[in-house]
Amino acid sequence: MIPFIKKRPPFSLKRQPGFGLIAGLCFVMLYAPIITLVVYSFNAGKYISPWEGFSLQWYVAAWGNEAVQDATMRSLFLAVQAGIYSTVLATMAALGTTRTRPFRGLMAIYAMINQPLMVPEIVTAVALLILFAMIKSLTGIQGMFYLVIAHTAFCIPFAYLPIRARLEGMDLNLETAAADLYATPWKTFWRVTLPLLFPGIIAGSMLAFVISLDDVVITEFIKSSGQETLPTYMLGQLRRVVTPEINAISTVLLGLSISVVCLLFFVERRSRK
């Protein structure tokens, strides 16, 4: 006779007591504020709370607000430029760090490229403020490009990481095969490496775009007067009076971010098929 052995289920985190509760709490903490924000953007009242009925008036107000329009255009202009420049630079950096023989100091270069992820943003902000002030006083040149340079710089690691991951996951034999089939190094890059890298580039540039769009600290420090971006404008508004207009703008920004993330996910899935 075979003795009956009670089968014990394998260890699973899901079965631990309190798992559901903790998970639920985490989700509430993550999403309750956002839901509140979105709900109150439709508040008819003049103040953020209490609820005084449904209305789209704050969306209309924000849409018609010239300062908001101005800041939005500037934010988009800045994010698009920073996104493009940082992606190009990050692509070159990723090629340089994955398509060469490992060399001395490669780890140091990784660290240097990823510096903005590790150095507190406030430090970068102050440093840039001082540097740009010196350049401005020396040359007298003013303009948006200080912001563009700053945003490009701190967006690089966000663009670099997905691009490098994609390059490292790529079958090196494909480039060898292209060379074997008479492709020059340049043709190999255009016909094989770049098309296969494209999903990584899209992911990297989207991430850079969102990061730039969202930045407050560095922008707040180095912007000149009249260079409000949407986040710094909102911060400025909060100091004076808080109206649901802020909620409305935030909700639109949230929508934009979600669309970008969805697009990113879609591109990723298609490239994996």
Residue whose pair of structure tokens reads 């920004």 in the numeric block: 253
Of 45, 33, 38, nearest to 243 (Cα)? 45
Q: Is 171 in the site for other proteins (CB under 8 A)?
A: yes
Task: Find the part of the chain contacting other proteins (CB under 8 A) among 5-13, 179-187, 204-212, 225-233.
Answer: 179-187
117 DSSP assignment: H
Q: Rounded to the nearest whole angstrom, what is the least distance from the CB of residue 271 to other proteins in the complex?
A: 9
- Sketch the per residue contact string, 180 through 199, with other proteins: x for CB under 8 A, - otherwise: xxxxx--x---xx--xx---
Q: Please, what's the largest Cα pairwise distance for the chain?
A: 95
Do residues 175 and 188 touch, judged by C-beta distance below 8 A? Answer: yes
Residue 1: how many CB atoms within 10 A of its CB? 3
Binding-site member from 25, 34, 44, 174 for other proteins (CB under 8 A)? 174
Structure tokens at 187: 């043709």
Task: Find the part of the chain contacting other proteins (CB under 8 A) among 92-100, 124-132, 177-185, 211-219.
Answer: 177-185
Q: Is 103 in the site for other proteins (CB under 8 A)?
A: no
Beta bridge partners of 43: 54
Q: Is 176 in the site for other proteins (CB under 8 A)?
A: yes
- Nearer to other proteins by Cβ, of 216 and 267: the residue is 267
Task: Find the part of the chain contacting other proteins (CB under 8 A) among 15-23, 27-35, 157-165, 171-179.
Answer: 171-179
Q: What is the DSSP string of 216-267?
A: -HHHHHHPPTT---HHHHHHHHHHH---HHHHHHHHHHHHHHHHHHHHHHHH
- Nearer to other proteins by Cβ, of 49 and 184: the residue is 184
Residues 191, 177: Cα–Cα separation, whole Å: 12
Q: Rounded to the nearest whole angstrom, what is the least distance from the CB of residue 38 to other proteins in the complex?
A: 40
Binding-site member from 12, 100, 137, 173 for other proteins (CB under 8 A)? 173
Applying CB under 8 A, the residues found at the interface with other proteins are: 171, 173-174, 176-184, 187, 191-192, 195-196
